[in-house]
A and B are shown apart, each in its own frame.
Chain A
Amino acid sequence: MCGISGVTGTGNIVQILYESIRSLEYRGYDSCGLGVVHNGEVAVRKNVGGVEEVNQREHLTSMKGNAGIAHTRWATHGKVTQVNAHPHVSMDGRFSVVHNGIINNYQDIRQELLQQGVQFVSETDTEVMAHLVALAYAEFGDVEDAFLAAVKRLEGSYAFCMVTAADPEAIYCVRNGSPLVLGLSKGRNFVASDVNAFLPHTREALFMDDGEYAVVRPAGVALRRIADRTEVRRKPLHIEWDAETSRKGGYAHYMLKEIFEQPQTLLNALNVPRAEIEKYAQLVQDARQTYLMGVGTTHYVALTGQYFFSQLAGRLLPTVSADEFEDLAVVGPGDLLISISQSGETYDTRRAVAFAKAHGARTASIVNVMGSSLSMMTDDVILQGSGPEICVVSTKAALAQMVILLRIALELGRRAGRIDTATYKAYYADLEALPSVVQDALNERSGAVRNLADRVVQYRNWLVLGRGIYYPISLEAALKMKEVTYLHVEGMPAGFLKHGTLALVDETMLSLFLLPPVEEKVLHEQSLSALEEVLARGGPVLGFVFENDARAKALISDRIELPVVPRTVAPFLQLIMAQLFAYFSALKLGRSIDKPRNLAKSVTVG
């Protein structure tokens, strides 16, 4: 997802333009840039990094101009480089564009332009637009004609903003499939991906529709249809909502938004280049000892990974929580530490990585935020590409990290000869089918999850129980519950019950069982026997069970039924349902879901 904006006015608008992409940063921030018209010339500054960071390097705010455009983006994958950052300019430097979306036919246009002698600087689809307009302008001598001629060549979904030396006070913009809204005020007008960009300056917004373009000038805005250039008369809307509502994109809370984003997160985790996965497998293969490390949720991610490595690759990797790392880990040259962090800024994790480095170990990381401390200090980085995660409680980022660890474990297993090609392919087929399964499950089960949560949140003490890989999933499910509901919820290995935990069970202690698929015969049998132990003591139980699990359904009346999925991906589905359950429980209890009490998104202090 990218954010684009444009400002035109009398006087220098650069500071306002800069603030506008600061406000769009939540849409993504791995590179950004400004294109400004000043004294009849177009100037562009751009680079890789967050908006503030790029400003420090490129001095964006010391630019000058009356009209300008800006861009900030979050690349899910692929190269983020200075030349690929927006804005892009035409060969003559007189037209500069920013873009949100995808041009489907850009390769065809690029080939055609190459034959006409156009030289491309970047690998982006965006750059063709700058050249198309410049060439059309040479032909027609009118910017609006040229802009429209270029737009008509494009196929895909896009929003563009353009400034040009040929019409120094104007911003030309077009919407076709990607959002674009005009902001109206006296003597200064705006265009942006969403209203956050200009809310501090005006609340009068004119939302563009697909197939419309606008010419924005300080004195006013002309909105027209692409097809016949007829004027569109639409009353501006006075924006009553705040920036926060807008960023949540139709969800009541970031947590729910991020839970619902997981089909996309899964796709992005699967799109992490195979070469990076292979490299990590190679590192583990070469290392004397490999540690998996995270803290909080990412510790449970690492524990889940531990099962993957053990079961798929026959390697039991020590998994140590970052806060205990120094006291427990025995690291030295030849060892590898794979650290996991959403923010890449977690104090405990950074400290443990520094400790490992000081002892001569090699370090690698899986992080979500590009340019974060962890991504800089480790020898290797995998960027998980999950997009910004704003809710303090991690959901989608954790899921992506688990999938990436699974992929590394699979690769290692294949190399070790423990996974044959057919199994390897079957795993990938299951993973690739997972996003749509998750999408449907979220759509079809939300009501049932909410109803169940509404019924049971009066319990103050909970156990979440699972065996095998469902044990770390239980730990993570319990942590989600703790964080957002403030209830006392503990994850426990189901096999532990009769070794002590069972003493806690009475009618006030609710046990939530995460049951494995029926095909996992032994694990399933063991889980059911634990369930019966609780039932025999009169303990109330809840279950997340797969639809075809007749035995569990007969035992548990308060349950969420999950669609049957291959055992390979079943833990992920259990995790997602647990996240949703925690969300609706917290909603029922009226908790501060996105910012639970006492918690912060990234714990950067010790």
Chain B
Amino acid sequence: MENSGLFFNLVPLIVILPVVGLLINIIFGQRMNEKTIGTVASAASGLTFVVSLLLGYSLLAGGGEAQSIHFADWIKIGNLDIPWTFRVDTLSVTMMMVVSVVGTLIHIYAIGYMHEDVRFKGDLKRYARFFVFLNLFIAMMMILVSGDSYLMLFVGWEGVGLCSFLLIGFWYDMDTLGRPSWANSNAGNKAFIANRIGDFGFLLAAFTMFWFFGSLQFGDVFLKAEEIAASQPGVIMAITLFMLIGVTGKSAQIPLYVWLPDAMAGPTPVSALIHAATMVTAGVYLITRSWAIFSLVPDAQYIVALVGAITALFAATIAVGQYDIKKVLAYSTISQLGFMITAVGMGAYVAGMFHLIAHAFFKALLFLSAGSIILGLERGHHHLAHHTKPDDPHEEVFDPGDMRNMGGLRKQMPVTFWLYMIGSLALAGIFPFAGFWSKDEILLDAAKNHTVVYVLLTIAAFLTAFYMGRQIWMVFFGKSRHAAAEHAEESPKVITVPLMVLAAASVLGGALNLPFLHSLEKWLEHTIELTAEHAAGFHGYLSISWGGLNPLVALVSTLLALLAIGLSWFLYGRNPVQIGQIDPLKKMLGPLFTVFENKYWVDEIYGVVIIKPYKSLARFLAVKVDWDFWHDWLHDTVIARFFRWFTNFLANPIDLGIIDAISTGLANLTRSSSSALRRLQNGFVRSYALSVLLGVVLILGYLLFK
């Protein structure tokens, strides 16, 4: 083999290692202590990262040529042959590295976090189960990004959906505050069902593709795409739009985004890993992977970009009006995913992937820091409970995630404060953090291609900076608004060290694709043909370029971000929010803020428009159609009666009258004929002899006279 000496054949390990890790924890988990369980899971994930690095090195050394590593035969029916093949190219390896590095850090973080979670009551079984799910997630995500066909991708796609469901409902018997309730398991169901709708779209896309292309392998599909686009352009359009439905489900875009905010019911490491950094970006990966199809239908691309841009703005406005620290980040994630979807919709695949990577770092950082803050507040609360009223059952329910309970935390939790600061600045797109570079690339592409999209995204970026500023001022500055915040304590090293690594990545992440260098672009160019956005000629001020960085776009977005931070200081920093005070923005915006606060009542609207009719339809179908019509009337009346009549008919006339009559008739005949014949057997030897004699005479007579 030409690539001997390189590590391509190691690729199955990226799935095998996490599976080994989870098997160890399943089998021996109950006999090990927390540290060992966490270490096994983290090591499995960490080794996966090492393998990803080796694969990256092999690609670099091998010239970036895509490799297909056959692992096992899967489906072989007639002409249909779908093997389990790993695809190692620059795109999949990029995803592998992001998933495994963020995954590993979050595994380590989770060792500390899960131990300190107030809902965790020392149940080792549950602790092991958590890490089993995390490892399963890593394995499934790896299958998703490394599959060589849409079917393998779909296996991973469903697998991560399953893990998401399992982990959102991890505390399935309580709500986010640890009270007995079905809230968390309902949130898990919501995520699963919303994703199911999206997955249905994905399946339709895959079926259409198989019908017209006769294959689901990436290579075959991309090869034939152009030919089919020329003869049947509608087919490609349908495939891309069906795929978009799948993307809106998995990547939480309008109209299926509603599950993601509720998914915050899961433990914070899960929110960071699955619902911010990796799984939700699967949609972005899918579109980037299918660039050869999407590039053929500009109309569909425009729809994708528009969906992304509208989502980005829509979710950003909701984030402005939220009080729960994780909910703000959840809506921010939806908004940022909108940015990525917009980018890949415009054909700016590198910008989308760049933002995906940068976002994975800083949003994981933000979520994990938020987890650290929540833990800090819980510690403060615990401290209080011990000192004042030990076991008061009427104690008010304390929500450690509510920003209105926080304030002034920068003194109590300095490390977390600085980490959160870095994450926020990166998210807000302030120079020189990672978010600045990646968001700017998307904005520049939007400015070049679609003015509407550019305007939407710029407002969204402004709001992003604003709600992050609001959060920082509310959480870390001013005076504590709750006694628990006053007694908050910093988190231990096992929690803060992974955060520091992520913070470093958030600061330096921009170096992946700096202007002039374009290292990520050159890296991905091996997999994606980049033509459209760079070949097009521009006019006027947009043609100014510093090695791919447009000063005007960069300046506008930076100024807007600074303005937004200033505005947030004016509202929340100058006069810190007091206990029980109405949100300052509410005074300014009035009813509009109420709309944001209530998330545009989308859940309620869905409830009235879709869920309620759906439930009554289900009830109608169950009671009227299934029970009354189908069961009572058709089965019990029509079919049962006919059946009874028919069996009667078969039993009496047919069976008794004909079948039985034949056999009894035969028996009677035998009996009567035998009773007639038995008279011949009189037992007298002489009569037998006479018969013999007569017989002989008869035969002889016949022979003589014939």
Determine if chain A interacts with chain B.
Answer: no
Name A's B-contacting residues (CB within 8 A): none
| Chain B residues with a Cβ under 8 A of chain A | none
